[in-house]
Structure 1
């Protein structure tokens, strides 16, 4: 079966062959897209939006040709990914059954019945994500904004899009003196393309005193033309565009004060200060915590419940308390988050039944292992 994948994380375009019902192995150095292929196939099999895999460079684009795309996986209903997380499930633990042992031993009708009952209990929580386009877009935009900070232990990477874009000063908004005549080009939607074109064109200025485009004299303007090259970097402008776009998309999901502060920081003329960076790092911390909770709720299952002890405590901990997210505690955010918390409350009203089903399932697994134990 041939699969085509485009515009997913590090993959611009890929054509791969997959054999159903078999282990398909992909070799490659880190960063070539092995995990992305697995994620793309998994999302497609679940009929979930692959938009979460959109490369950062295309986040601000509205062109259909830049959107994540997969073709050929329409017949997939499930995908198992053989990665480190999968292997970790099958490590023996002292005096304990094998984690996720149902993936090794025969799935009995008893097991399937308990699993179906457990899924019925938590279906409302998981459906909150499937049924809300606004919630899914919020998650995608928050992931994009978090990614703009780059990968770093302290939450701020010098190589990140924010640091290399708005963090160096927004010269799309604040055009340097002497370059005002270029304003329409610098502030156009396709300013990155124009900058690349302009900078490539300056290489011809040493060949003649005439414009390489219209052949009119540019002798008196060469210094100004060179000044564009000295003050602008196409990649930095691309980062400014992308960060500004996603901040605009999130809009009212931020509180009013946060929205004003973020807008100011994306449009600042100068380099970011230590206190401004600390403010943004704290914002990222809130975003990442919210995303972590959403991820756990979205993929809630027996596997995440079986080792929890008291399920009521687990679910209470997963409740999204926006009052402790000072930058995101807005009416718009509550409109999409409150329904999730309401579904958690519904499960908590009958938590005893869910706790019992999880216990029965664990007992059934232990029984299956005992019956298949090798002495």
Structure 2
């Protein structure tokens, strides 16, 4: 099978992946226990699908008992700038580095499928491809295959690639010689833990998603708790902080596929423009983008929090216009943003005029507590 490993490597690199790593698929009682504890403590937040798929997610063989081997691949999405620098421009929104252009699900999944189809014909084997939408615990599997290790921020870190990469996996019924697992190389470093704006890491190697800005801005469907809003700054979709400070990223390279490099309209979009987005304009701006899945209302919720943190009083008219938005989620965050951008007498006058006519209780609560 050594010849097959070499051929897979050549085909994978031709598709833009790094050198693939291989693991033997087996039950992992330790990972099952960690997943069970994570869910039992409620740290998955609103992500009910994690609890619903816990049994299948706990072991790759629960998903496909016939599978023998996993091919684990990394595809870079690194950008050509320091993601943390954008946090200084409070009049612009910051979108996570992986979501600044094409939706990777469409792009990378297509490459995985081509590679899987080739392997199926070449080795006369069955294959299934996965890219973070199936109940597969990709990061522990990637560590087992030697691609990297789960750092203290729980993301995968590679000595050759840093952290700016997607993980793709191919399961196959072929038995392929496995690689040795990767060891932890975090040492005493805790940069990723210390930089987290919302203290989302209860301890090294543990994440409470309910406090994570990526979770709050992407997965969380409701109102974002007041305790997190100021800490969000101008982050409007995801957060790069814990990845960006990792010293292993000195080995990371920018994405070789231009479709994953930032497009100008999304690199540092002005909040003033984003506040004007109706549903049609939102869909047009984020066509074929991962951001589109959040929907316009949740996205505007995040933009309004960024506006409230901006200190830019020039945004007041556009924020005020959103007090009459059809979405209660948007109206509530417009109230909060105005409470931060307007003087107390001016805000009190708005409250007196509008609060009693507001039908949604969550929006009324924002008026009352702002």
- Greater helix share, structure number: 1
TM-score under structure 1 length normalisation: 0.28
